Every structure is written in C-alpha cells, then in structure tokens.
C-alpha cells in the first residue's frame, strides 16, 4: 500500500481560532477514505486545505505539512496542485452553458486539450467514466441547467475528471440528492477509485460504511480514530466513535 497523501501535524485556524488540531493521517493510493463527524468538526476545512482552496480566505492560517507523492503541497504551485487534486461540493453547480461546454471549459482554458477531435474524445471518455454518457450522448449541446440534480452532480464529477486529477475530494456529494441518484454517485465513486484516490466527507454515516475502505472520525477539530471501515463500524476503539456511529449524538 502506497501513501498518496501524508498529513503531518496539521493544525488549521480561522482568525487564530484552532478548528483542526495536530492532525496526522494518510490517504492510501486508490482507496476511498471516508471522513465522518458532526457539524463543525473540521471536515470541510480539512478538504479545503488538501487542495489549498482556503488560501483564498484571509482569516485562515495553518501549521504542519501535507505531502502529495512526497512533495509538500504548500511548496508547489497552488494552480498546479488544484489540477492534481480536484474537488466536488455538496451542491452541483454547472456553468450556464451546454453539457459539452461544461466539460471542455477548464481543459481548454488550461490548454490541456485543444484539438476538436481530442476534445470530443475526452468528453465521451469522462461522460462514460461518470456514468452519464448513455443519458446525454444525444443532447450534448443542451443546457446543463436542464439536467436533473443527480445528473448535474455526475456532470460536475465529469468536469473534475476532465482536468485529469490524481485525487478527488468529495464534500457531502449526495446531500441534496434522492436515494436513486445517491446510489448512482456511490457506485460511481467505487468505480473511480480504480483510477483515482478519493477522500469522501459525508454526514451520512451509512454512506461511509457502504463505500469507504477506511473511515476517519473527526470530532471538534480532532481525529478521534481512523481504521478499516468494517473495523471502525463493528468495533470502534473509542467511546466517542461508538456514540456517533450508533446515533447517540451528532
Ligand atoms: N471561513 C470561515 N471563517 C471562520 N470560521 C469558519 C470558516 N469556515 C469554517 N469555520 C469554522 O470552523 C469550524 C469547522 O468548520 P468546517 O466547515 O470545517 O466543519 P464541518 O465538519 O465541515 O461541518 P459541517 O458538517 O457542518 O459541514 C466551525 O466551527 C466553523 O464555524
Ligand atoms: Mg462541511
């Protein structure tokens, strides 16, 4: 097992208030690492640190190191990092343009793909990988805003795949979706881990137990425990974990 990401002594702050404390955690290549925990436990802050989205927030600061394939992410170019570490949010937000243009927008802007035929092939490939091709192949020119919520979320996944990342961060990707769309996104995440390394933050404990290989439990800015998912859900080491997964709080 190879570590794709290694987090050492990471602490994060907003206005000097610590919201994530001395985190040590690794993400194994091609795994789905689930991150669960009640509101305000620092899950989103953790994800936004991994691709330096929080660099834009002037109240935010941090200490510690995060290594991606051995390189400290705080030493590499942030744009380049975000290309390697893509992120998906709770609410799918397609651009107000066609399905095709949604997917080609970033790769074109970044100059990753330029020739029309390469763009077309790329669009088909990422739509297949996001389990959307059969549903949209006859209407690639139609507005993305007319798709269902579940389709929009898979389109947003296709957009992330189009920049060819190594790691994908999901922040509660199913919170606005119905059970059928949720099941599709969950199946998709399991397929995607063959090619990508995935960190899945979810408020839905059952979702973590269904799809993640290992699960980390965060509480009030601290990692309480991390273990193989089967083990964490069947015999957690810590009482706080047990209380949370059995629904006694949170
Ligand atoms: N931009 C910000 N400025 C100031 N404080 C923030 C900011 N973002 C988050 N916080 C605070 O940091 C703490 C951790 O928030 P975070 O969003 O990381 O938690 P979370 O585990 O993702 O919660 P949720 O389950 O509600 O999404 C909270 O106390 C929150 O109020
Ligand atoms: Mg959050």
What is the pLDDT at residue 120?
97
Q: What is the pLDDT of residue 117?
A: 95
Alpha carbon of 196 to ligand 1 centroid (Å): 27
Relative orientation angle of helices 179-192 and 149-162, to the nearest 10 degrees: 20
Ligand nearest the Cα atom of residue 35 = 1
Most ligand 1 atoms within 8 A of CB, residue of 16, 17, 18, 19 to mutate: 19
Which ligand is in closest contact with the Cα of 45?
1
Q: Would the CB of 193 count as within 6 Å of ligand 1?
A: no
Q: What is the pLDDT of residue 1?
A: 86
Q: Is there an atom of ligand 1 within 6 Å of 41 CB?
A: yes
Q: Report whether residue 40 contacts ligand 1, using a CB cutoff of 6 Å.
A: yes
Three-class secondary structure of residue 66 per DSSP: strand
pLDDT, residue 90, reads 84
Q: What is the pLDDT of residue 249?
A: 67
Query: For domain 3-92+166-245, is the CATH number 3.40.50.300?
Result: yes
Report CA-CA distances (Å) from 64 to 60, 69, 135: 14, 16, 45
Cβ of residue 14 lying under 6 Å from some atom of ligand 1: yes
Six-digit token string for 110: 């970044």
Residue whose Cα lies nearest atom 16 of ligand 1: it is 42
Mean pLDDT, each 10-residue run in order, the chain (250 residues) = 96 98 98 97 98 95 97 95 93 93 94 92 96 96 95 95 96 91 93 96 95 98 98 96 86
> Could you state, in order of their start, the residue ranges of all structural domains in the chain?
3-92+166-245
Q: Cβ(58) to ligand 1 under 6 A?
A: no
In this prediction, residue 91 carries a pLDDT of 83
């Amino acid at each position: 097992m190879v570590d794709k990401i290694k987090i050492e002594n990471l602490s994060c702050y907003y206005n000097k208030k610590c919201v994530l404390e001395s985190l040590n955690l690794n993400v194994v290549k091609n795994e789905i690492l689930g991150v669960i925990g009640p509101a305000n436990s620092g899950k989103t802050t953790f994800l936004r640190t991994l691709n330096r989205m929080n660099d834009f927030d002037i109240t935010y600061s941090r200490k510690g190191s995060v290594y991606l394939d051995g390189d400290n992410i705080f030493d590499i170019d942030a744009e380049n990092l975000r290309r390697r570490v893509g992120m998906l949010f709770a609410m799918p937000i397609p651009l107000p343009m066609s399905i095709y243009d949604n997917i080609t927008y970033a790769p074109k802007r970044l100059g990753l793909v330029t020739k029309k035929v390469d763009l077309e092939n790329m669009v088909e490939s990422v739509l297949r990988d996001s389990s959307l091709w059969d549903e949209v192949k006859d209407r690639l020119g139609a507005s993305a805003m007319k798709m269902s919520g579940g389709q929009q979320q898979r389109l947003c996944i296709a957009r992330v795949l189009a920049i060819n990342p190594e790691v994908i961060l999901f922040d509660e990707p199913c919170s606005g979706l119905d059970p059928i769309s949720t099941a599709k996104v969950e199946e998709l995440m399991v397929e995607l881990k063959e090619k990508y390394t995935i960190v899945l933050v979810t408020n839905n404990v059952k979702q973590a137990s269904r799809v993640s290989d290992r699960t980390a439990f965060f509480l009030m800015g601290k990692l309480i425990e991390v273990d193989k998912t089967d083990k964490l859900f069947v015999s957690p080491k810590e009482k706080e974990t047990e209380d949370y997964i059995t629904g006694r709080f949170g």
